[in-house]
Amino acid sequence: GNSVTQMEGPVTLSEEAFLTINCTYTATGYPSLFWYVQYPGEGLQLLLKATKADDKGSNKGFEATYRKETTSFHLEKGSVQVSDSAVYFCALSGSDYKLSFGAGTTVTVRA
Amino acid sequence: GAGVSQSPSNKVTEKGKDVELRCDPISGHTALYWYRQRLGQGLEFLIYFQGNSAPDKSGLPSDRFSAERTGESVSTLTIQRTQQEDSAVYLCASSPTTTNTGELFFGEGSRLTVL
């Protein structure tokens, strides 16, 4: 079946530091890949997505590239802010139409 | 409404009682999903609806769990004879269609605590 493995947290960074959260997946066929974010006190919301190999999703300074050869979709941001403190979830959607989520990575950015 | 609405936001119940959790999706969204998030864990798929039918119930943990959706709108997740391991945040999400490329819009969840 489909599954997602993402880097365990928590991750604590200083403002303006570089952030990487690793995500790898197992799936049959051609899944779509997503990063969702959950800010404190809010519901999950889509951060970015990529629907085919070599696509790059980007939003709010975050980027992730769909790498079929390494079955990865790592999330990166070059310079984080305090407002980026949140829980980040990598997710996959296959032909069964349901999102399979990773365990989530808690990121805390200190001023 | 503007977003996915879930109620109650918090529910504390005693072991053995039944609970109902409600989800009001974004108007016009035909697909509706239920997920469970236990403390410190990822999201666990429970069930999804396309319209009023549920093509995939594979994630329901036991026959104590059931869900229904009426009128392509509100959905209710019912947990009978609750157990302590049912304690979790139950998340509902909706989507305009059932595809594997689209965004899911999540509610803020219903936090269930079983004493």
**Residue B31: phi, psi to the nearest 5?**
-100, 140
Interval A43-59 mean pLDDT: 94
A51 to chain B: closest CA residue: B101
| Beta strands B110-114 and B10-13, pairing class | parallel
A4 to chain B: closest CA residue: B42
Interval B16-26 mean pLDDT: 97
Q: Which of A4, A46, A104 sits opposite B103 (nearest CB)?
A: A46
CA-wise closest residue to B75 among B112, B43, B104, B34: B34
pLDDT at B42: 82
Cα angle A100-A18-A65, degrees, rounded to a multiple of 5:
40
| pLDDT at A2 exceeding the cut of 60 | yes
A2-11, A23-32, A94-103, B54-63: segment of lowest average pLDDT: A94-103
| B43 interaction partners in chain A (CB closer than 8 Å) | 44, 89, 99, 101
Interval A35-49 mean pLDDT: 93
Interval B48-69 mean pLDDT: 90
CA distance B75 to B71: 9
pLDDT tens for residues B60-90?
Answer: 999 999 999 987 799 999 999 999 999 999 9
Q: Which of B101, B108, B110 to mutate to test the interface with A (most CBs of A within 10 A)?
A: B101
- Angstrom CA distances, A41 to A24, A44, A53, B72, B113, stand at 27, 10, 34, 28, 18
Does A43 sit within 8 Å of B109, measured CB to CB?
Answer: yes
pLDDT at B100: 64
Residues whose CB falls within 8 Å of the CB of residue A33, separated by 6 or more in sequence, listed in order: A23, A25, A49, A50, A51, A57, A64, A66, A73, A90, A91, A92, A93
Does A96 sit within 8 Å of B91, measured CB to CB?
Answer: no
- Angstrom CA distances, B99 to A11, A46, B9, B43, stand at 33, 15, 28, 19
Does B103 sit within 8 Å of A49, measured CB to CB?
Answer: yes
| pLDDT at B40 exceeding the cut of 80 | no
Mean per-residue pLDDT over chain A, rounded: 93
